[in-house]
Amino acid sequence: MLGGLGALGMTTLTGVLAAPRTAAAQAVGVQETVEVALKRFFGTRPLQDGSRLIKLEVPLIAENGAVVPVAVQVESPMTPGNHVKHIYIVADKNRIPIVSRVTLSPAAGQAFVGENIRLGETGDVRAIVEQSDGTLFQVKREVRVTVSGCAA
Amino acid sequence: MSDVGKVRLRVPSTIKPGDVVRVRALVIHPMERVEVDKQGKAIAKNYNYINKVVVTYLGKTVATIETSQSVSENPFLSFTFRATDPGPLTVTFTDTHCGKYEGTADIKFS
């Protein structure tokens, strides 16, 4: 924990980064179970079914768990009043379930993110979307992993 | 290893003003995995992985991506932005060992 804080202090020195580096900003790469992680990020806020809004592209079978392409696209007008604020990519069975958190601004024009992630074992991959008004949507899909991405 | 920190950005060759442009970014980085001891417990140490990616266009932040060790080695990301004016698009990767890697693409209209 202390080491993490030290690194945090050092990186702030490099400047340029507009977003404030709070403890929460460092909160992504934590080893925990997915239930704990979701509780930590969203508390008791309900996760609505977002299958109408969110397009989650994952392979059905991942032959190599070390590199699994994931793409998330959300239908949104992306105006300052109504845009997608965060996209979370969550891999339920990973040691670190919150794979990444994307913070978007309306200048992105489209709520889209693609990433190559690791998967330790067969399990659900979720995309959780937080709109600018605070509502949460999620979709999930199971991915079968043939060769583990190992301890990620 | 010497390639660590090399950033490659790919933007479409033709961009019109007002287009939503999809950009692909790649950085060469080991993204160390969590190591586990014999009891299956994770070893706590300062792993070297990229934990923050910032995309700026014309000096404004378009997107911030916080990543963890669950992201693959040599992270490959794609994202979009709305091209309004010609100018630089910069992607900055920051890792936990204070490394900072930058890639810039000049957005020009044809």
Delineate the domains of chain A, giving CATH numbers in brackets: 1-29 (no CATH), 31-147 (2.60.40.2470)
pLDDT of residue A6 exceeding 80, the answer is no
Residue identified by tokens 């790469």 is A29
**Nearest in space to A68 (alpha carbons), one of B66, B60, B75, B16:** B75
Nearest CA in chain A to B18: A109
CATH number at residue B83: 2.60.40.10
Mean pLDDT of chain A: 81
pLDDT of residue A27: 67
Residues ≥6 apart with Cβ < 8 Å to A8: A21, A26
Please state, for a pLDDT cut of 70, what percent of chain A lies above it. Answer: 80
Strand, helix or coil for residue A38:
helix
Q: Does A127 touch chain B (CB under 8 A)?
A: no
* One-letter amino acid of A86: H
* DSSP code string of A9-37: HHHHHT----S---TGGG-SS----HHHH
User: d(Cα A114, Cα B23) in Å, to the nearest integer?
Assistant: 10
User: d(Cα A92, Cα A120) in Å, to the nearest integer?
Assistant: 10
pLDDT of residue B79 exceeding 50, the answer is yes
**Nearest in space to B92 (alpha carbons), one of A127, A44, A16:** A16
Up-side HSE of residue B19: CA atoms within 13 Å toward CB? 15
Mean pLDDT confidence for B33-59: 87
Q: How many domains does chain B have?
A: 1
Chain A from 10 to 49: CB within 8 A of any B CB: 10-11, 14, 16-19, 25-26, 28-31
A91-127 pLDDT, tens per residue?
Answer: 998 888 999 999 999 989 899 999 999 998 899 999 9
**Is residue B43 in a domain?**
no
User: d(Cα B23, Cα A107) in Å, to the nearest integer?
Assistant: 14
Q: Which site among B11, B21, B27, B66 would you substitute to test the A interface, given the most A Cβ atoms closer than 10 Å to its Cβ?
A: B66
Inter-chain CB proximity A149 and B67 less than 8 Å: no
pLDDT of residue A4: 44
pTM value > 0.90: no
CA dihedral A7, A8, A13, A14 (to 10 degrees): 80
Q: Does A77 touch chain B (CB under 8 A)?
A: no
pLDDT of residue B50: 92
Enclosing domain of residue B55:
7-31+48-107
Q: Which residues of A51-63 are buried (b: 16+ CB within 10 A; e: fewer)?
A: eebbebebeeebe
Q: What angle do CA B8, A19, A139 make, to 5 degrees?
A: 75
CB B12 within 8 A of CB B21: yes
Q: What secondary structure letter does DSSP report for A58? A: -
The stretches of chain B forming alpha helices (DSSP H) are none
Contacts of A114 in chain B (CB under 8 A): 24, 76-79
User: d(Cα B17, Cα B82) in Å, to the nearest integer?
Assistant: 8
CB B100 within 8 A of CB A14: yes
Quick one: how far is CA A133 from the chain centroid?
18
How many CB atoms sit inside 10 A of residue B85's CB? 9
Up-side HSE of residue A49: CA atoms within 13 Å toward CB? 3
